[in-house]
Amino acid sequence: MQYLENPRVNLGKNRGSFNLEITTSALCDLSCTYCFEGEKTDKRRLDNDLPVIYKRIDTLLADEEWFQKHYEGLNISFWGGEPTLNPRFIVEIMNRYNDNKLIDFHLYTNAFNINNMNKIIDNVDTSRLKVQVSYDGKLVNDKYRLTKTKTLTSNQVLNNLYILAKKGIHVSVKSTLPIENMETMYASWCEFKDIQTMLWKIDPKINISYAPTIDYVTKVKQEEKDAALVVFREEFLKIAKEEIAFYAEHKRHLCSWFGGEDNRKHCSAGLNMAAIDQAGDLFACHGAIYSSKKEELKTATIADEDFVEKLKASSRKFEKPLSKIAKECHDCVATTCMICPVASHERSEKEDFFDAWTDNWSNNLCGFFKTFGEIDRAVQEINFRSINGL
């Protein structure tokens, strides 16, 4: 494999905020059939470890040699399971750092239970909180995102999304796209446009995206992937036509995949982010928590007195895979690439850690991103000619 120096990655100063994800609860109130977290039965929580967590965060913030040199601030992101199942934990951390303007907060949620959400947002300053709601579009959502008694969730989730928006919460939406349901993409895009229109009526400043992540965890046969790719292309051609009109009117894309560049090919897991699981162990990202090779990916535990030193060492270690790029990826037509290095590491047969970490081809998803890259470049060309009157 030939590698080139990667000119597009920022390993210097001004990396923005460091993202520290903390698992509030590994349990969930839904039972989504495609969930990559597996059986969610681990009841451990870090409630009693809050003093230690504060100590680690305070040490991190005070670190001049690495943290202050590279980062403008810290983003504390609450991860689950369903994070809102432990509202008190979230409220305590947010209020502890309420006066520290270097810290922002982010919350993942399925937005199913507004009562738990209210226990959080009614007791904190929400001005620095961003809430990301998981919603796939009704056709996918009602097939996969079900309650434990197999009832549908879409209407309730959408309703709660609007409630959050009305309360002035900064909301975004993130979707999963199962490979066997590619035919739903265009309908989902249209639905997201409707949701966007509804949100603009609440507040014209709310901008959401249709931001699907292809389900890279569920194992699908190659023949099924090949068939899905044909549907994927047809669906994205239709979306592309709508996106051109949307871009002309709003000067941005609704689907986050569009308008990409060659630099959207690297996951910076481990470099500018880290995740703490329900046991207090530290990983490169929340995806690593569910890897079958989890133990290889563990970098520290909150009980370690040198936790921050280990976090710094881990971040420096993860500079390595970003400093170079495989020539095949460098020359690739893709403008958006969401190949998960944790999944690569899990599936790869390569022995060296970073050879496995960057073994993108073991995921066998390149076809989707290459196909989309061609469509995106065509859309960008159409927009470019339109803007410049060519």
Partner 1 sequence: MNVKQLNYSLFKAAEHLAEAGKYMLVFNRERGIKMMEEADMILSVIKPEEEKVPQEKLETIMNEIMNIKAGR
Binding site for partner 1 (CB under 8 A): 186-187, 190, 237-242, 244, 259, 261, 331-333, 373-375, 377-382, 384, 388
User: Using CA atoms, how far apart are residues 23 and 31, in angstroms rounded to an integer?
Assistant: 18
Q: What beta strand segments (E) does the chain contain?
A: 3-5, 17-23, 73-79, 103-109, 129-134, 170-177, 212-214, 273-276, 281-283, 300-301, 324-326
For the chain, give me the number of helices (H) and strands (E)? 15, 11
User: Using CA atoms, how far apart are residues 173 and 164, in angstroms rounded to an integer?
Assistant: 12
Judge whether 102 and 73 are in contact, CB under 8 Å.
yes
User: Using CA atoms, how far apart are residues 382 and 299, in angstroms rounded to an integer?
Assistant: 46
Q: CB 192 → partner 1: shortest distance, Å?
A: 13
Q: CB 230 → partner 1: shortest distance, Å?
A: 14
Q: CB 244 → partner 1: shortest distance, Å?
A: 7
Q: CB 232 → partner 1: shortest distance, Å?
A: 14
Nearer to partner 1, 175 or 383 (CB): 383
Nearer to partner 1, 187 or 206 (CB): 187
User: Using CA atoms, how far apart are residues 105 and 233, in angstroms rounded to an integer?
Assistant: 37
Nearer to partner 1, 73 or 259 (CB): 259
Nearer to partner 1, 277 or 376 (CB): 376
Q: CB 257 → partner 1: shortest distance, Å?
A: 14
Q: Token match 């170079």: residue?
A: 324
Main-chain phi, psi angles of 342, to 5 degrees: -65, -40
Nearer to partner 1, 324 or 330 (CB): 330
Q: What beta strand segments (E) does 136-209 contain?
A: 170-177
Q: CB 284 → partner 1: shortest distance, Å?
A: 29
Nearer to partner 1, 102 or 187 (CB): 187
CA dihedral 216, 218, 221, 227 (to 10 degrees): -60
